[in-house]
Structure 1
């Protein structure tokens, strides 16, 4: 996974100690086909991660000063080639502690955004994923964590207020 330059700079000072990082997850929902017909079941854009083979929504660390909506648009386009626009904040939560194989440790404060598909054909647009595509919410691929399924559910509940984990 590409580590942002500012994280590499921080790691020079703090080593592998746990960092608290702002992140965003963009759940791109498609409810109509290219001809404008309503799909029988909504679809979500997912990527298959290159590091662990898991299916996930598009996610990433926000750059210093970057707004969550702008970060979600950027991450989705960088990772899948798809253009999407933010609809609403679907939820906010802190992840469990994540420890990487190099010893780095962090927790993410994730802002989950429901995103609307605008254009583009999904494909793995960088080295972070090996596959990307649309999946019916009635038949999500495996492996996919309960955490990922939860944020998809949050985004599909159109118009609902933002959710917060306790």
Structure 2
């Protein structure tokens, strides 16, 4: 059982603050790896997930990417993009659980790997040019991608 599942046994659906991390993974053609999950909306998003006890934000990315895609990311090559939190990061899960997320976003470039579906959350992986992203995209992930694009327009 995960940390969040343990906590939910005690507090039910009341709001929680959940820490997580995600990563923009680019290949050597500057295409972004995205994942489509088995959730009801089948939205596309970045790879990542929630923090477990004792993990750093970078540890979360490395573990989640490995669990979801079988890709081993070198933690020392992750570059911090930003931290996202606040009122706009409130969500309600289909089961009624309410949470506010604090998301640490990373970037890594020149990843030469083929993702393999290796969990029960994913139904597809694909590489996309930033000018031709799939839809629908998880709202917070769309913002993170837009921030990345804005910060790299002048480079």
Q: TM-score, normalised by structure 2?
A: 0.84
Secondary structure, counterpart of 1:140 in structure 2: coil
State the partner residue of 2:37: 49
Answering whether residue 16 of structure 2 is matched by residue 19 of structure 1, we say yes
1:101 & 1:153 partners in 2: Cα distance?
27
State the partner residue of 1:62: 51
Query: How many residues align structurally?
Result: 147
Residue range with higher mean Cα deviation, 49-58 or 92-101: 92-101
Structure 1 runs, 4 residues or longer, greater than 6 Å off: none
Q: Which runs of 5+ in 2 are unaligned?
A: none
Give 1:84-123 correspondences, 5 Å limit: 84-85=73-74, 86-94=77-85, 95-123=88-116
Describe the superposition over 1:56-107 as per-residue Cα deviations: whole angstroms up to 9, x where unpaired. Answer: 0012001112011111011111111222234311010115211112111111
Structure 1 counterpart of 2:2, from 1, 5, 8: 5
Describe the superposition over 1:101-159 as per-residue Cα deviations: whole angstroms up to 9, x where unpaired. Answer: 2111111100000123544311322111100121111211111245323312444546x
Secondary structure, counterpart of 2:3 in structure 1: helix
1:108 & 1:146 partners in 2: Cα distance?
12
1:66 & 1:117 partners in 2: Cα distance?
25
Answering whether residue 69 of structure 2 is matched by residue 80 of structure 1, we say yes
CA spacing shift, 1:59–1:27, aligned 2, 3 Å: same
State the partner residue of 1:149: 142
Q: Which runs of 5+ in 1 are unaligned?
A: 33-38, 161-166
1:65 & 1:84 partners in 2: Cα distance?
19
Of Structure 1 and Structure 2, which has the larger fraction of its residues in helix? 2
